[in-house]
Structures are given as structure tokens and as C-alpha cells.
Amino acid sequence: MEELFERLAFSVKEVTGFIYPNEIELHWSILIVVYPYLTGLVAGAFILASLERVFNVKEVEPTYRLSLLTALAFLIVAPLPLVAHLGHPERAFEIFLTPNFRSAMAMFGFVYAWYLLVVLLVELWFEYRKDIVVWSKKEKGLKKVIYLILTLGASDLSEKSIQFDKKAGKLITIIGIPSAFLLHGYVGFIFGSVKANPWWSSVLMPVVFLFSAIVSGIALMILLYMVITLFRRKPVDMSCMDKLASFLLYAMILDFSLENLDFIHRIYESEESIKILYQLLISKLFISMVVIQILLGTIVPMVFLAWTKLARLPDELRRLIYFGSAILTLIGIFSIRWNVVIGGQLFSKSLRGLTTYKMELLGIEGLLVALLFLVLPFIILYILVALFPPWKEAEVELEA
């Protein structure tokens, strides 16, 4: 109790203007920032992988399997921040047991389950089946058991069944693209449909979320690919990098235009909330929105990426620029999520006052837990990569 009061006393001092008592403390903490960030990375990585499959972009092939594994690693962690945020995490499963089809929030479980079970796992299974079957014969000990279970008994390696794997994989990718759109568009929908909150309520929200997801997914893959090849002491495939960087640039241009459209639309509409939103922007969100999100997270990488397109730069410099831009973009997208989730709770429903967000360090909703959820996907990815090496060289070649 005492501690609660202390926290409240701190926040009260930061309040400006008039604010209702239940708005002083934020209810959605940094964990809820991490959640859309993670699902965005999932959707982005998956959509990048689909590009290779559906549109036959050969250059990005080296990242295909890695993207799928990355999507899986992040997808496994994505719901954890939500569950940790709940006072009664064990009740989370009620949304499956007693589904409420009229609640958008309750539908998350189904969107998630569909995406995990029907799309990602099945696609990975078809993609890796041939390799798994071979490994299950070659490996020994625990690994053998794992692979054996994963074959699900389907050990047929005939030409016909390999051909079927390919076709099925393609079909699932085609189902997967709208599903990835659904997964992350859904998160935008949740925010966009809160009509009482003028910072969130916008039909563009799902679309903006989606494009920022694609941006973050591509940036993550650039970064992962470069770091992993560095550790594997392999040469970086520059044509793949150039292609990824182009995609990143185009996605960013689209994303930025959409965001500006949203912004101009709000200014033109000038609803009664515009004054407080302006206050919010120039005070509490100035650093995270204007400086980090727009300037460092969007404009700087866009300018640098455009530079690599316009001028002939040496490989070394291009790699450096790609690397830096990817990091800045990832930070930028994180601050987008921050500005949406935290920003949307900083102003009063009375539209007359602002509060502040005091992040905990140690608590269950604190910074450390959030960092844990950001690191966990990489650990899972490490294990996945060890089990299912995504490199070309590791792929099993079958003698016909």
C-alpha cells in the first residue's frame, strides 16, 4: 500500500492540467509496448519470406528459412508479455475455452492459434520435412528422437511426395500472407477501434501497424543475416543485402506516407482533441516521437538508404549503412509502438490534462521483464537454428 502511494505521489507531481483520478497511473505498461512490437516482427519476417516464395524474388533466398524460423521464435514469445500483464494469467486460457466472438480482444487467441498452428508450423514442416527425415536417420541420441517425432511418421521421400511438399508449402504461403496481415492488422485494429481515445481511434491504424510491421521485419532480417554471417565467417551476399535494403526503403516510404496521411487527416479534421494531442506531442512525446521515431528512426535511415541507391558506394560502406539503418529503424519502430501505447494513455479523457509514465525497473511489468521478452526470441532462435540449420549448405540434397 505504502509503495503504491509513493508511486502515485510521484506521478501526481508530474500531472499538468486536469485529469481524472484513475488516469494518473497508466494501466498499459511497457509490456504492452513490447507485444505489438513482437507481433510486428513476426508478421514482417513472414511477409519477407513469402516474397521469395510467392513472387519468386530469388535474391532474398538466403534469408528465406531464417525468416521463417525468426517468425516462429518471435511468435512463441509474442503472447508472453500479454500473459505477464494479466493479474490472473491462468485465466488467459478461458478465451479459448469459452470463446466470445463479439470481443475483439478475446479473438486474439484464435488469430494467434491460427497463425501458429495452421500457418507457420505447417509451412515450416513442409519446408523442412525432407531434411528432418534424413536427419532422423543420420543423427543419434536425443536429436534423433526429436527429429523422429517431428516427421510425424511421414517419412516418404519419393519424388512425388517431395513435389507435394513444395506445392503445399506454396499454398500455405498464399494463405499465410493474409494471415500475417490479420495477425498484425488485428493489433492495430484493437487500438484503432477504441473510439473513446482520439490518439488511437483511426481506421488507418491497422494499415499503419501493418506497414510498420513489414518495415521492422525487414530491418530485423537485415540485421540478423549480417550478424549471423559474421559469426559464421561467411561472405555477405551483397545482392541479397541490396534487395533487402531496397525493400526496406520502399516499405519505409509507404509507411511514412501513411503515417503522414493519418497526421494530416487529424490536423485537418481538428476535432476537439487536437489541442491536447498537440500538447502531448510537444511535451511528453517530443523526444520519443519527433526525435527518435521520425528523425532518427525514419528520416535518417531513409536518407542513407536512398543514398546507396543513388550513388555507387563501395560494398563496405553499403554494409555499414545497411547495418546502421536497420538498427535505427528497429529503434524507430519500437518508439512507434511506445508512442501509440504509452502516448495514448498520457492525456486525460477530459482532454484537459496530461500525466506521466513512470516505468518500473524490477516489477513484473518493469523494464527488466520487458528486456527479457526482447531477448528471449533470440535464445529460442538460437536453439531453432541449431536444430534446423537454415543455410543453403546444410540443406539435404537427395539423389534422384
List of residues contacting other proteins (CB under 8 A) = 17-18, 93, 96-98, 100, 117, 122, 125-126, 129, 152-156, 160-161, 164-165, 168, 350, 352-353
Nearer to other proteins, 257 or 350 (CB): 350
Beta-bridged to residue 16, according to DSSP, are 354
> Considering the complex, what minimum distance in angstroms separates the CB of residue 161 from other proteins?
6
Nearer to other proteins, 20 or 382 (CB): 20
> Considering the complex, what minimum distance in angstroms separates the CB of residue 112 from other proteins?
15
Closest to 49 measured CA to CA, from 160, 146, 170: 170
Helices (H), the chain: 2-14, 30-55, 64-77, 79-85, 94-97, 108-113, 121-138, 141-151, 159-192, 205-231, 238-269, 274-282, 300-310, 315-341, 367-387
Closest to 69 measured CA to CA, from 235, 273, 228: 228
> Considering the complex, what minimum distance in angstroms separates the CB of residue 103 from other proteins?
9
> Considering the complex, what minimum distance in angstroms separates the CB of residue 54 from other proteins?
21
Strand (E) or helix (H) holding 184: helix 159-192
Nearer to other proteins, 152 or 371 (CB): 152
> Considering the complex, what minimum distance in angstroms separates the CB of residue 100 from other proteins?
6
Strand (E) or helix (H) holding 249: helix 238-269
Nearer to other proteins, 28 or 114 (CB): 114
> Considering the complex, what minimum distance in angstroms separates the CB of residue 117 from other proteins?
8
Nearer to other proteins, 98 or 270 (CB): 98
Nearer to other proteins, 18 or 263 (CB): 18
Beta-bridged to residue 353, according to DSSP, are 17
How far CA 68 is from CA of 49, 62, 72, 248, in Å, comes to 7, 12, 6, 18
* Cell numbers placing 375: 531477448
> Considering the complex, what minimum distance in angstroms separates the CB of residue 126 from other proteins?
7
Nearer to other proteins, 353 or 377 (CB): 353
Closest to 23 measured CA to CA, from 191, 185, 273, 197: 197
